[in-house]
């Protein structure tokens, strides 16, 4: 009898410094630099006092912000990135850093003034439910900054073919199908669904597409969304 079970493969994306070696070197480095810069478009600096970053363990957005306005910076991510907090404490000694394990119940004493999620929401299972839970961590007068890959999309797909040859050396992929499987397991929620959910729950928000500005996911690489929590409909 045949055995139907999940393919066994090494998940090397977040081991060692692999994530940074792939996304923050070569051409990708400049694309992600633009991504981080766009995340601060039209964001008033007053919102940066108490920041929570979702999934910023591997590479935090704080390196792209004027840090003098930040009082506290909290990262919610996998426990494997907890040691990164010590590095940030040394780099920004005037900021109070905190790390929270996303697998445990989150308890906070003071609500946040800004949420940052750079390429993290596409990894969420049950995005709608978990996104609404995160909103409870925010002050009523707060900002939410989101960056998403335009996946699935034609331009994003083309970039995956181009980047495969560099990535396979670092991630130890043997063929493109293995990369595809890894991507399918990693990017659980498509950007279109995330956008539909945000569009339902908020009266208004700003969105920017890169690089073509035309509001079509199929031809762009990144989508940036800026939200004011006070525009929540319910």
CA 225 – CA 195 distance, rounded (Å): 9
Q: 197 lies in a domain?
A: yes
Q: 28 lies in a domain?
A: yes
Q: Give the pLDDT band (50/70/90) at residue 10.
A: low
- Span 12-23, average pLDDT: 75
Number of structural domains, the chain?
Answer: 1
Query: What pTM was estimated for this model as a whole?
Result: 0.92
CA 131 – CA 121 distance, rounded (Å): 8
Q: Is the pLDDT of residue 14 over 80?
A: no
Q: Is the pLDDT of residue 80 over 60?
A: yes
As to burial, measured by CB atoms within 10 angstroms (0-12 exposed, 13-18 middle, 19+ buried), residue 64 is middle
Q: What's the whole-number average pLDDT of the chain?
A: 90
Q: 9 lies in a domain?
A: no
Q: Give the pLDDT band (50/70/90) at residue 2.
A: low
Q: 24 lies in a domain?
A: yes
CA 166 – CA 168 distance, rounded (Å): 6
Contact 70, 62 (CB under 8 A): yes
Q: 160 lies in a domain?
A: yes
- Tens of pLDDT along 152-201? 999 999 999 988 888 888 888 888 998 898 888 889 999 999 999 999 99
Distance of CA 213 to the CA centre of its chain: 20
- Tens of pLDDT along 105-147? 888 889 999 999 999 999 999 999 999 999 999 999 999 999 9
The crossing angle, in degrees rounded to 10, of helices 127-135 and 191-201 is 50
Q: What is the pLDDT of residue 19?
A: 78
- Tens of pLDDT along 85-112? 889 999 999 999 999 999 888 888 899 9
Q: Is the pLDDT of residue 22 over 90?
A: no
CATH number at residue 138: 3.40.50.150
Q: 25 lies in a domain?
A: yes
Q: Is the pLDDT of residue 37 over 60?
A: yes
Q: How many residues does the chain have?
A: 234
Percent of the chain having pLDDT more than 70?
Answer: 97
209: domain range?
18-144+155-231
Q: 2 lies in a domain?
A: no
Q: 31 lies in a domain?
A: yes
């Amino acid at each position: 009898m045949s055995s139907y079970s999940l393919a066994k493969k090494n998940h090397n994306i977040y081991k060692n410094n692999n994530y940074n070696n792939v996304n923050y070197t070569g051409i990708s480095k400049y694309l992600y630099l633009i991504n981080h810069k766009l995340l601060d478009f039209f964001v008033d600096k007053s919102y940066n006092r108490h920041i929570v970053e979702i999934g910023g363990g591997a590479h935090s957005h704080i390196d792209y912000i004027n840090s003098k306005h930040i009082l506290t910076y909290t990262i919610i991510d996998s426990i494997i990135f907890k040691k990164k907090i010590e590095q940030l404490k040394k780099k920004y000694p005037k900021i109070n850093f905190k790390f929270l394990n996303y697998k445990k119940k989150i308890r906070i004493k003071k609500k946040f003034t800004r949420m940052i999620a750079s390429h993290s929401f596409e990894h969420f299972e049950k995005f709608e439910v978990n996104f609404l839970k995160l909103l409870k961590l925010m002050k009523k007068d707060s900002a939410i900054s989101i960056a998403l890959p335009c996946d699935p999309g034609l331009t994003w797909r083309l970039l995956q073919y181009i980047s495969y040859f560099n990535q396979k050396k670092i991630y130890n992929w043997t063929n493109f199908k293995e990369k595809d499987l890894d991507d399918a397991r990693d990017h659980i929620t498509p950007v279109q669904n995330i956008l539909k959910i945000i569009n339902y729950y908020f009266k208004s928000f700003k969105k920017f597409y890169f690089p073509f500005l035309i509001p079509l996911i199929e031809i762009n690489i990144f989508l940036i969304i800026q939200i004011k929590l006070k525009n929540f409909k319910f």
